[in-house]
Amino acid sequence: MIRDLGRYLLFTFRAFTGMGYVLKRPRLILKQIYYLGLLSLPVISFTAIFMGMVVALMVTYQLEVGLPKFYVGATGGRTILIELAPVIISLIVVARVGSNITARIGTMKVTEQVDALETMGINSVHYLALPIFIAGTIVVPVLVIYGNLISLVAAAVSAKVIADIPIADYIFGLRRYVILNDVLGGMLKTILFGLIMGSVSSYYGFRSELGAEGVGKAVTQSVVTSAALIMIFDFIVAFWVFRV
Amino acid sequence: MIKVKNLSKDFPRQKVLTDIDFTAKDGRRVLILGKSGSGKSVFLKCILGLLVPDTGYVEIDGTDVSALMAKPRLKRKLTRVRQNIGYVFQGSALLDSLTVEENIDLALEFKRLKKSERDRIINEKLKLVGLSSKVRRKYPQQLSGGMKKMVAIARAIASEPKYIFYDEPTTGLDPAMVVRITKLIIELSERLDITSLIVTHDMGLARRAGQDVYFLKNYTLSRTKKSTRLEELYE
Ligand SMILES: Nc1ncnc2c1ncn2[C@@H]1O[C@H](COP(=O)(O)OP(=O)(O)OP(=O)(O)O)[C@@H](O)[C@H]1O
Ligand SMILES: [Mg+2]
């Protein structure tokens, strides 16, 4: 466990030593950004809509105790922006993209493509992993912004349809009670989540053992580890930024 | 020159190479023969540190590469040695997210050539292995097994390395291609004075191209007289 952590940190550190190499080849990064974004957009749109609807339902349910209607915008918005969208969307990206990255690099390793890079005098970790780290830290926050917007709209619409809460009240609640700190705190941690997703999934890809079975095992470990790390860091950030 | 001394490599629960001594003199075509699963591919990878040997000394062109493999810190130096080596992998190992031309281009990256020059080399090498430049924009998935092998050979010779490792360069090729590749291997070594390590099960290629012969059996590599009938070695 401790040794694994050490290996992972060393791997991540080594990847970053290739920054000069990768920055001279922006196409490597752009390709990954395109690929990560494309893979996750459909599933994230879908998740964000349902997330918004569920939040609207849960908050309107609580209005029964006599809370004012703008409360849907205030509490619902905060729940989405601070916690739900950043965490759920990051986890979805891990499931959709992180697993894919591990499988892709693992397959490259098993089919000697990683060896081929190395014999061509190219550092495979710089070439394959670092662009993914960078793309992850850019794409995950962008996807979360996108997910935020979709969820907020979905929540507004379903609050109107289900509980007849005027859109104007919803927007009033949002604007009155959601502060910049909420949005930024929610966003900042997603940069970290993106880095976790990118580095953990490449790490397990490189570590996967010979054979398709080995790659399968690596994918499982990669997803579980990324998800666990995201939850841990989510708690740390919450403790740090949002403690009253 | 490539020199290997006392090289051993085991995998968990499996012995593969024990105390290997091996020499490939400059400009020679050295055959490495042996039954399937005897460890030929593992041996080639150990020379370059793609697999790190458990023990042993490896020297390429006067550089002690076994010392470089052991320390990730020295990776840059190891990389520089590897740039002198072309490697045709048994399974071709083309990068499947790149087109044929991008695959070959990658092998030229470290040379820092102009785009037009690289273009010329890509066409030249494809022609040399008998492929038309129509395949340049294709992805490996769109090629047959034999065509992949030829692209892999084109990629390995693209940077005109001093050493070329061929791991079964002719499996999956039609007879005409086998003849062509056999000639190419001989011609490259003679024209450019390339040192070739050739792993093969193809006795035609072995007889025509081989100059020095090693046979891998019972975890060790032994030098064989050229007069020995190659087939007898397998009995
Ligand atoms: N990465 C690895 N991990 C574990 N075992 C391995 C690994 N690579 C090879 N082996 C084992 O080492 C032995 C030698 O394999 P190798 O691929 O070198 O054989 P080979 O002589 O090249 O055979 P072939 O002629 O079929 O290509 C095999 O038994 C193989 O299962
Ligand atoms: Mg082999």
User: How distant is the Cα of A151 from the closest Cα of chain B, in angstroms?
Assistant: 34
Report yes or no: B139 at the A interface, CB cutoff 8 Å: no
Q: Is A14 contained in some domain?
A: no
- The arithmetic mean of pLDDT across residues B8-34, rounded, is 94
A115 vs B45, B107, B155: nearest CB? B45
Which ligand gives the minimal distance to the CA of B167? Answer: 2
- The arithmetic mean of pLDDT across residues A206-214, rounded, is 82
User: Which chain A residue shows the shortest CA-CA distance from B163?
Assistant: A119
Indicate whether residue A210 lines ligand 1 (CB < 6 A).
yes
Chain B neighbors of A101, CB-CB under 8 A = none
Contact B47, B4 (CB under 8 A): yes
Alpha carbon distance B156, B92 (integer Å) = 10
Indicate whether residue A224 lines ligand 1 (CB < 6 A).
no
- Looking at every residue in chain B, the average pLDDT score rounds to 93
Alpha carbon distance B118, A229 (integer Å) = 44
Q: What is the pLDDT of residue A66?
A: 78
CATH 3.40.50.300 in chain B, residues? 1-84+162-235
Number of structural domains found in chain A: 1
Q: What is the pLDDT of residue B172?
A: 85
Q: What is the sign, positive or negative, of the torsion defined by CA atoms of B50, B222, B220, B57?
A: negative
10 Å CB burial of residue B94 (0-12, 13-18, 19+) is buried
In whole angstroms, how far apart are CA B69 and each of B14, B55, B72? 22, 11, 7
| Per-residue model confidence as pLDDT tens digits over A28-51 | 999 999 999 999 999 999 999 999
DSSP letters, A104-127, are: HHHHHHHTTHHHHHHHTT--HIII
| Per-residue model confidence as pLDDT tens digits over B126-169 | 999 989 999 999 999 999 988 999 999 999 999 999 999 999 99
Q: Is A222 contained in some domain?
A: yes
Q: What is the pLDDT of residue B113?
A: 92
* Cα B70 to the center of its chain, rounded Å: 22
What are the tokens at A53? 């609807």
- The arithmetic mean of pLDDT across residues A19-34, rounded, is 95
Q: Is A211 contained in some domain?
A: yes
Q: What is the pLDDT of residue B21?
A: 96
Contact B125, B154 (CB under 8 A): yes
Q: What is the pLDDT of residue A240?
A: 82
| Nearest-CA residue for atom 29 of ligand 1 | B37
- The arithmetic mean of pLDDT across residues A106-122, rounded, is 94
Q: What is the pLDDT of residue A4?
A: 86
A122 vs B50, B85, B109: nearest CB? B109
Per-residue pLDDT band at A244 (split at 50, 70, 90) = low
CATH of domain B1-84+162-235: 3.40.50.300
User: How distant is the Cα of A193 from the closest Cα of chain B, in angstroms?
Assistant: 26
Indicate whether residue B11 lines ligand 1 (CB < 6 A).
yes
CB-based contacts of B42, cutoff 8 Å, min separation 6:
B9, B16, B17, B51
Q: Is A8 contained in some domain?
A: no
Cβ of B95 within 8 Å of Cβ of A116? The answer is yes
The packing angle between helices B175-192 and B145-158, to 10°, is: 10
Q: What is the pLDDT of residue B208?
A: 93
Which ligand gives the minimal distance to the CA of B16? Answer: 1
Chain B neighbors of A112, CB-CB under 8 A = 89-91, 93
10 Å CB burial of residue B7 (0-12, 13-18, 19+) is buried
By percentage, how much of chain A surpasses pLDDT 70?
Answer: 99
Q: Is A17 contained in some domain?
A: no
Indicate whether residue B29 lines ligand 1 (CB < 6 A).
no
| Per-residue model confidence as pLDDT tens digits over A147-160 | 999 999 999 999 99
CA dihedral B99, B103, B109, B110 (to 10 degrees): 170
Alpha carbon distance A201, A183 (integer Å) = 27
- Helices then strands, counting H and E runs in chain B, come out as 9, 10
- Judge whether residue B9 has pLDDT over 90: yes
By percentage, how much of chain B surpasses pLDDT 70?
Answer: 100
- The arithmetic mean of pLDDT across residues B55-83, rounded, is 92
Q: Look-up: residue for tokens 């859109």?
A: A167
Straight-line distance from the first to the last Cα atom of chain B, in angstroms, rounded to the nearest whole number: 31
Domain extent at residue A132: 24-242
Amino acid (one-letter) located at B27? G
Report yes or no: A14 at the B interface, CB cutoff 8 Å: yes
Q: Is A10 contained in some domain?
A: no
- Judge whether residue A72 has pLDDT over 90: no
Indicate whether residue A115 lines ligand 1 (CB < 6 A).
no
Q: What is the pLDDT of residue A155?
A: 94
By percentage, how much of chain A surpasses pLDDT 90?
Answer: 72
Cβ of A115 within 8 Å of Cβ of B96? The answer is no
- The arithmetic mean of pLDDT across residues B90-119, rounded, is 94
- In this prediction the pTM is 0.91
- The arithmetic mean of pLDDT across residues B222-230, rounded, is 82
- The arithmetic mean of pLDDT across residues A157-169, rounded, is 91
Question: Relative to the CA of B45, which ligand 1 atom is closest?
Answer: 18
- Reported ipTM: 0.93
Alpha carbon distance B216, B234 (integer Å) = 10
CA-nearest of A45, A55, A42 to A157 is: A55
Indicate whether residue B200 lines ligand 1 (CB < 6 A).
no
Per-residue pLDDT band at B227 (split at 50, 70, 90) = confident
Alpha carbon distance B43, B90 (integer Å) = 13
Which ligand gives the minimal distance to the CA of B219? Answer: 1
